[in-house]
A and B are shown apart, each in its own frame.
Chain A
């Protein structure tokens, strides 16, 4: 059973301190919702754990089953089992979805998946996410609608079966139908019990479909409150107002 342990993580972007000491432990099978207002550092947490070069870790540690994640390159983190579903997935023109997914699966699994079983697996996963089979021939994220991009991210989640899944605002820009389809994909992965999920969201909407075990409220780079799923209901009713530092509301 895998455990991601984030201890006193401090992260800066271009010399500006964004995360000011975050501690969080995510175990396989658990789902943690990270909630907070805009600019609270939610996405910074996601990208810092994934290793985006724009984010500089200035203190603290991140380990996955005791291994130092912060000393790994981006691709090493992914192969170790960290997966980031991005809020704004990047276009890769001329690279087909099929080629991209097989390249990724080859790296994550340590060998190229056999073609026929792979094709079956891909087809089945796409059908579950209600994706047109023609989708696999398109260039990665190029000309995709918002919903298609998010389905493609969750498709990767399902195929790559990470130890830790970080979902960065996966719900943003989705209509209710797409949100349900995407949430079902996440729930299939959760049901496997092998993956710990870090669900980053501004809104409580997605939590109706993906019920978290823990909710952490992030404000101004620090966790200001933690609790069970009932905390999400508090936020749904009252918003983030009560967490705002008095100075910041002026």
Chain B
């Protein structure tokens, strides 16, 4: 017997949690940020002019300091460059294709003006293809090193059916970068993508990422954001068939004056798919600002969906601010699980006391506690040398004096 599909639309109000200088952690809910329409209704287009000029009042732009985007929203002409190298691995081929190639735009259609600018301004696209059924033992390393000036880029990561691989996207260098990344995960494939941002302290990087997860495929996606002046990443996941599994993890360590923004959208349309989102951030120093927006939509046909998203932020010093906005839209009553949680708190001085009472000096104790906080995200990076490198970098940044310490 079939019954008419129930339409059960639940829109949880947005919550933002922030710690203003000198105040304790506070929580507020509702507010002007509550979405008024389904995330799925946002327009998508390759045409820049399909998007109205950005004012900063738009839901997707209201947290971003537009003046610090280096003109990316205005389509400033490219006058810089990026050196991109891809490690040679058996089963992996690299090519450059024109933007008119049908592969370009097959997964990602820009959902905001900046992404459309980057697509219109890219000269060509880099395609990294992992052959069907290939098992690539060593990580595929894609290094993107940007110069001063403005550059645009487009990457298509095409993972064939039943392939196994880990891909590391390593971003370094300076300048202003607008880019789009498309990830196609073929049916039955298992791929881990680690996206590392260690740009220079004055760099600007705005990137839209879209992944399509094939039938019974698994995508593990880890974003590590440490560098830059302003970094804004917008990962989107759709499913090409039932049985897909997407785990999106993120780690950000936001220092004095830095803006780190991650806006995610997981769109469950086919049935029996799973998603997990786990983003953790630590903030230190005056003017450190982190934004996490996690949108999950469960469409009317997406029965058997299992989703959970979590964002936790740890505020280490005064003067840092974390905005955390989880949104869940449910259009079917037949879900296996759907939930979200978000919490922002100050560094716990009792943890510090406990470690110090065992002889561990304050700096080492803080490092131990923050490492512990990040442990479940970093455990997703299964490439051990890379994990060790990221841990060492986190340690360095934690020990670097911040203006707040000096004050």
Residues of A participating in the B interface, judged by any CB pair closer than 8 Å = 50-53, 73-75, 77-79, 83-84, 86, 89-95, 99-100, 103-104, 107-108, 139-140, 156, 160
> B357 on the interface (CB 8 Å rule)?
yes
Separation in Å of the A59 CB from the closest CB of chain B? 23
Contacts of B358 in A (CB 8 A): 78, 100, 103-104, 107-108, 156, 160
> B376 on the interface (CB 8 Å rule)?
yes
Separation in Å of the A9 CB from the closest CB of chain B? 18
Q: Which of B354, B357, B362, B376 contacts A92 (CB 8 A)?
A: B354
Q: B368 touching A92 by the CB < 8 A rule?
A: yes
Contacts of B354 in A (CB 8 A): 86, 89-90, 92
Q: A75 touching B371 by the CB < 8 A rule?
A: no
Q: B376 touching A94 by the CB < 8 A rule?
A: yes
Residue of A nearest to B376 (CB): A94
Task: Pick out which of these stretches binds chain A: B153-161, B172-180, B260-268, B345-353.
Answer: B345-353
Separation in Å of the B166 CB from the closest CB of chain A? 23
* C-alpha spacing A107/B350, complex, angstroms: 19
Closest 4 CB pairs of A and B: A94-B372, A94-B375, A107-B359, A95-B372
> B355 on the interface (CB 8 Å rule)?
yes
Question: What DSSP secondary structure best describes chain B's contact surface?
Answer: helix
Residues of B participating in the A interface, judged by any CB pair closer than 8 Å = 348-351, 353-362, 364-365, 368-369, 371-376
Q: A108 touching B359 by the CB < 8 A rule?
A: yes
* C-alpha spacing A52/B349, complex, angstroms: 10
Separation in Å of the A158 CB from the closest CB of chain B? 13
Q: Which of A50, A53, A156, A160 contacts B349 (CB 8 A)?
A: A53
Q: A107 touching B360 by the CB < 8 A rule?
A: yes
Separation in Å of the A11 CB from the closest CB of chain B? 16
* C-alpha spacing A73/B330, complex, angstroms: 53
* C-alpha spacing A78/B365, complex, angstroms: 13
Q: B351 touching A53 by the CB < 8 A rule?
A: no
Contacts of B359 in A (CB 8 A): 75, 78-79, 104, 107-108, 160
Contacts of A90 in B (CB 8 A): 348, 350-351, 353-354
Q: Which of A53, A104, A107, A139 contacts B353 (CB 8 A)?
A: A53
Q: Which of A75, A86, A93, A95 contacts B356 (CB 8 A)?
A: A75
* C-alpha spacing A51/B353, complex, angstroms: 9
What are some 29 contacts across the A-B interface (CB < 8 A)?
A50-B357, A52-B353, A53-B353, A73-B356, A73-B362, A75-B357, A75-B361, A75-B365, A78-B356, A78-B358, A78-B359, A79-B359, A83-B357, A90-B353, A91-B351, A92-B354, A93-B373, A99-B368, A100-B358, A103-B355, A103-B364, A103-B368, A104-B359, A104-B360, A107-B358, A107-B359, A107-B364, A140-B372, A160-B358
* C-alpha spacing A91/B374, complex, angstroms: 15
